[in-house]
Amino acid sequence: RLKPFNRLQVILQHLKMSKHTDLTAEVLLEKRGGAGIITLNRPKALNALNLSMIRQIYPQIKAWEQDPETFLIIIKGTGGKAFCAGGDIRAITDAGKAGDRLAQDFFREEYILNNAIGTCKKPYVALIDGITMGGGVGLSVHGHFRVATEKTLFAMPETAIGLFPDVGGGYFLPRLSGKIGYYLALTGFRLKGRDVLKAGIATHFVESEKIPALEKDLIALKSPSTENIADLLNSYHVKSKIDQEKEFILDEHMEKINSLFSANSMEEIVKKLKQDGSPFAIKQLETINKMSPTSLKMTLRQLREGASMSLQDVLTMEYRLSQACMRGHDFYEGVRAVLIDKDQSPRWMPAALEEVSDEFVDDCFKPLGNNDLKL
């Protein structure tokens, strides 16, 4: 007979082998009704995306895309706090410092996944209930439907850690109305709840408590078309009353955002903010002064160029930028200050916008030859 401990080991081994009962799996992939369902399952890490998750999700999306019995793909997070709070920045930092391949592979495979979502032939529904930042935005924003709730917290906070709003940020941000995308990208401003819809990032707004019912109804649809799915989402959307009367948080500032953030250079944006002198402008100035000057310049150019590029060209450009960040100083310093030591006092190099030369920025955008991202 097996000793009790061994018996437990056998049971655990068995659990590990059967995918659906594996509660430790970082991502759950299952087929229910006509829907393929991706569940990000790292609640303690706010469902942050790591390389092994990317390597499971990508082939599954590709398989479902080919499967005549799969009519839509749903992606969601567990734990009630986050859809996905970003990429696994710590692992990338360690890899980058050690010159490990992960610093190349992570961005490469993440962007290939972002592109698969952006070109997916099956309707793709992201239930962005909770924190949705960075890498989580990349898993949702390029799909057909993004359903926000009152718990959604959206941000692209990368300039604060010496990075830039990647995962296709250069594609969707400049396409938001006015200069909202530039504002969000440079300041890392956080949008909550219905404002995520009003900014044009989400396509629908549904109360958090109604999400399980919505998911059930999506799964129950019989060979639905994109229109059928849109109709169902709309029927939930119109019944959602939370914050319906509230005006968009940026409404009162839109005129200023559109004029101040339309400048051609970071120095000019800063100059305009100083000249404006309003409480709003001063607040933005304070925020921008905390960010990596290199990241700010990189980001402004990324969005200005991305505005007229295809998603594929944007991701290729962003891959070049990601590798420039891996070679540089500010990313490691930003992660140290914000995530590791948490002293919130990064020492950027160079420390001022004027010291970040155009030549240096140009260099970040240069092709990588054989190492370029191929989509």
**Domain assignment present for 185:** yes
- Give the pLDDT confidence of 232-275 residue by residue, as tens digits: 999 999 999 988 889 999 999 999 999 999 999 999 999 999 99
Q: Does residue 22 have a pLDDT over 60?
A: no
- Give the pLDDT confidence of 31-48 residue by residue, as tens digits: 999 999 999 999 999 999
- Give the span between the Cα atoms of 122 and 357, in whole angstroms: 44
Coil vs helix vs strand at 125: strand
Instruction: Decide: 132 and 172 in contact? Cβ < 8 Å.
Output: no
**Domain assignment present for 16:** no
Residue 355 phi, psi (nearest 5):
-85, -10
Above pLDDT 70, what percent of the chain?
A: 94
- Give the pLDDT confidence of 128-175 residue by residue, as tens digits: 999 999 999 999 999 999 999 999 999 999 999 999 999 999 999 999
Q: Which CATH number does the domain housing residue 294 bear?
A: 3.90.226.10
**Domain assignment present for 190:** yes
Q: Does residue 1 have a pLDDT over 60?
A: no
Instruction: Give mean pLDDT, residues 78-88.
Output: 97
- Residue 14: what pLDDT? 58
Q: Does residue 19 have a pLDDT over 60?
A: no
Instruction: Decide: 83 and 40 in contact? Cβ < 8 Å.
Output: yes
Q: Does residue 54 have a pLDDT over 70?
A: yes
- Residue 24: what pLDDT? 80
Q: Structure pTM?
A: 0.93
Q: Does residue 15 have a pLDDT over 60?
A: no
Q: Does residue 184 have a pLDDT over 90?
A: yes
- Give the pLDDT confidence of 300-321 residue by residue, as tens digits: 999 999 999 999 999 999 999 9
**Domain assignment present for 17:** no
- Residue 119: what pLDDT? 98
Q: Does residue 6 have a pLDDT over 80?
A: no
Residue 73 phi, psi (nearest 5):
-125, 130
Coil vs helix vs strand at 254: helix
Give the CA distances from residue 323 to residues 188, 264, 309, 329, 360, in Å, rounded to whole numbers and listed in that order.
21, 25, 20, 12, 14
Instruction: Give mean pLDDT, residues 210-217.
Output: 98
**Domain assignment present for 6:** no
- Residue 243: what pLDDT? 87
- Residue 5: what pLDDT? 59
Above pLDDT 90, what percent of the chain?
A: 92
The residues annotated with a catalytic role in the active site are 87, 135, 158, 166
Instruction: Decide: 75 and 122 in contact? Cβ < 8 Å.
Output: no
- The count of structural domains within the chain is 1
**Domain assignment present for 61:** yes
Which residue segment(s) compose the domain that 118 sits in?
A: 23-371
**Domain assignment present for 238:** yes
**Domain assignment present for 229:** yes
